[in-house]
Structures are given as C-alpha cells and as structure tokens.
A = this chain, B = another copy of it.
Amino acid sequence: MSRANAGTKGVPRADRELQILRAACEVFGTMGFAKASVAGIAADAGISKPLVYQYFGSKEGLFLASFNYGAETLAAEMERVAADDSVGVERGLHTLDGLFRTLEPQPWLWRLLFDPSAPDDGEVAAARAVYTDRITRLAVEGVGELMRLVGDDDPLDASALTAVWMSAVDALITWWLDHPGVTPTQMTERCHRLIIAISGAALPAELPAEGGVRRQAERSSLRA
C-alpha cells in the first residue's frame, strides 16, 4: 500500500525513452544542464525519477543522449548545406536558412549544443569534442573559402573569423527565439539585408590611431 502507484503500465521501453528524451531536450536546452533537475524532467515526461535512472543511468547519461540527438540533427543539416556548391557569404546564408528551418519545431536544440554548464569531462566532453570538430570543420571550410576570395591568408585571421561567424549564428538564432512569429524565410531575408548593410558601410583604408593615453579604470564603489 505504500508504493501505491507502482507496477508496469505496459509502455515499452523505446517509447518511454523517446518520451523522456523529448522532455530532457527541452529542459536541458532551455535551462541548461546545471539548472535542470532530473526529478523535474521526470515530472515533465509524466513518469518518476527512478525510471529515468533505470533507462539513462545518470543525469550525465541523460544529457549525453539529449546532446547526441540535438547535435546529430544540426550537424547533419549543416553538412547537407555544405555539400551544395555555394561559397563565401552565400554559403553562410544558406547555412542559416537551413538552421532556421531545422530549429523551427524544436528551437531549444541549439542551446543544447553550446551549453556552458554542461560537464567538461567524461563522455559528454568527448561527444562535444566530436560534434564541435564536425561543425567547426564546416565553418572553417566556409570561412577559408571566403578568406581566399578576398586574399587574406593569415590562418589566425581565419580562426578568429570562424569564431565570429559561429557566434553570429548563435546570436541570430537567439534573436529569432526572442521574436516568435518571425518565419524562417523572413529570418533568412533579414540576414541577407544585414550582410549587405555591413558590406555597404564604408571603411577608411587606414585605421586612425586610438588607444594612446589610457585612464586607470576608476575605483568604483565596491558595494551595491
């Protein structure tokens, strides 16, 4: 009588796993690994905590499964776009377009990929390394093409621009998440306009000197 609701409900393991995984993706992607609680995910999935542990072993194991699902979905989409023959900025826009469309039904997958609160060791770190490599490779390739186009062959420049590009993608997706109702098509068009705006803004060939005299950062009030 103490374990009142115990006993099987006849749902096969594969179904439950999917059910748990869906809830986990949303919670981990929305709140991040650290703030998410296994009990909360179990509640969202409509089952109890021990079942999660029985099927996924640990919080880390559950996150790993969620991460793998999300990362695979997104990496596959990016590779699909990369296989096309567009180059430079156009390739970048196609990638964004593909991501917007892939993320539309489950936008939180994106956050899963770059969760700073996820454990940085063990299997999770290994999986992240695999997918980061896979995605960074694509970005490096695209940026490399662009740099070749304009005659800049400094490898550190390419590395930095890759970082900027990936971060810009992140920012655009985040902005999109914050503006519900904007369709993927509208977002892609917006990105197109933004690129044109940046390209169009004139820039002096030589940068005027700056940063000579420097104040010491003022000793601001320490307390609130």
Q: Which residues in A have some Cβ–Cβ distance to B below 8 Å?
A: 17-18, 21, 32, 34-35, 61, 64-65, 68-69, 72-73, 76-77, 80, 86, 88-90, 93-94, 97-98, 101-102, 116-117, 123, 127, 146-147, 149-150, 152, 154, 156-157, 159-161, 163-164, 166-168, 170-172, 174-175, 179, 182, 184-185, 188-190, 192-204, 207-208, 210-211, 214-215, 217-218, 220-224
Contacts and interface: CB of A to CB of B under 8 A. Distances in A.
A206 B127 CA distance: 39
Given A65-B224, A90-B208, 12 more contacts: A32-B117, A68-B222, A94-B210, A98-B210, A101-B211, A123-B224, A150-B201, A152-B197, A157-B190, A164-B168, A164-B175, A184-B211
Total identical chains: 2
* Most B C-beta atoms less than 10 A away, residue of A68, A149, A160, A207: A160
Contacts of A101: 211, 214
A90 B194 contact: no
A96 B218 CA distance: 19
Contact of A203 (B35, B65, B199): B199
* Interface residues of A, dominant DSSP: helix
Contacts of A150: 196-197, 200-201
A136 B169 CA distance: 19
A93 B205 CA distance: 13
User: Which 5 A-B pairs give the minimum distances between C-beta atoms?
Assistant: A167-B171, A150-B200, A72-B220, A163-B175, A73-B217
* Most B C-beta atoms less than 10 A away, residue of A77, A164, A185, A218: A164
A177 to B, nearest CB: 11
A179 B4 CA distance: 59
A145 to B, nearest CB: 9
Contacts of A64: 224
Nearest to A73: B217
A150 B10 CA distance: 63
A112 to B, nearest CB: 13
A114 to B, nearest CB: 10
B224 A211 contact: no
Contact of A193 (B154, B171, B190): B154
